[in-house]
Structure 1
Amino acid sequence: MMLRGLLIISLALAVASCGRLGIGNASKRAETENTLPFKAKLKKGEERDFAVTVANKGAGVAEVRESVRFEATKYCLLTFGGSDVEWTINPASKDWAFSQDGDSLTFNGRCSAL
């Protein structure tokens, strides 16, 4: 009986300490394995929509794609539980649509995971 009580107390203390270790706060631990070449910032839109802006310093879509994709995937996964993204597509190029403002490219997407 004494052993059962110690086991219950030990388990209760172990579970209670999970919050102190940062377990369950995945947004602070979501990082890439490699350094991304461009700094990207995500801005939440309505419902599942978002925009990712990248300071591209003259680079094109192909060069900034991984930096944009990482921010979008992280947002969708941590907010909606899935990493699927529907990007706004440019009908002419059949590639991701973007707007340019100086040295920045802005891409729009929507988290599609249910």
Structure 2
Amino acid sequence: MRRTTLILLAALALGACAKKTERVTFDGVYFPLKSKKASDDRQDFVVTVRKAEQNLELAREAGRYEGTRYCLQNFGTSEIDWSQGPDAEDGTVMLSGGSLTFRGRCALW
């Protein structure tokens, strides 16, 4: 039993290392990113950038990257119509609980 537990822990540790090397950083800063559909229409999406307080400017770029990645993976386009995007004025983008949230729609032509 103990040997099995040690093997599982080692496998988990190696798996975590592999994921860390695949992380995308912005000027050396890592932001945990998440994108998901915002409604039944998958073109509408929400991006969350955690730990944005590290560097707000870089966090905005991380959000732009994640939105672009979402649209490319789901629709093959990098065109986005942002309703609350990374280029919004500072007063309209709020840091909440250390996270930034952006909303957009993948533009299909």
- Scaled by the length of structure 1, the TM-score of the pair is 0.56
Instruction: Name the residue aligned to 2:57.
Output: 62
Between 73-82 and 51-60, report the one with greater CA deviation: 51-60
The equivalent residue for 2:66 is 71
| 2:34 corresponds to 1:41 | yes
Give the Cα–Cα distance (whole angstroms) in 1 for the partners of residues 55 and 82 of structure 2: 16
Give the Cα–Cα distance (whole angstroms) in 1 for the partners of residues 88 and 69 of structure 2.
24
Shift of the 73–57 alpha-carbon distance from structure 1 to 2, 3 Å rule, reads: closer
CA RMSD of aligned residues (A): 2.8
Structure 2 gap segments, 5+ residues each: 1-21
Q: Secondary structure of 1:98's partner?
A: coil
> What are the ranges of 5 or more consecutive residues in structure 1 without an aligned counterpart?
1-30
Q: CA deviation at 1:57?
A: 4.4
TM-score, with length taken from structure 2: 0.58
Q: Kindly tell me the number of residue pairs found equivalent between the two proteins.
A: 81
Identical positions, percent: 38
Q: Aligned to 1:88, what secondary structure does the other structure show?
A: strand
Q: Whose radius of gyration is greater, 1 or 2?
A: 1
Question: Structure 1 residues 94 and 67 mapped into 2: Cα distance closer, same or farther (>3 Å)?
Answer: closer
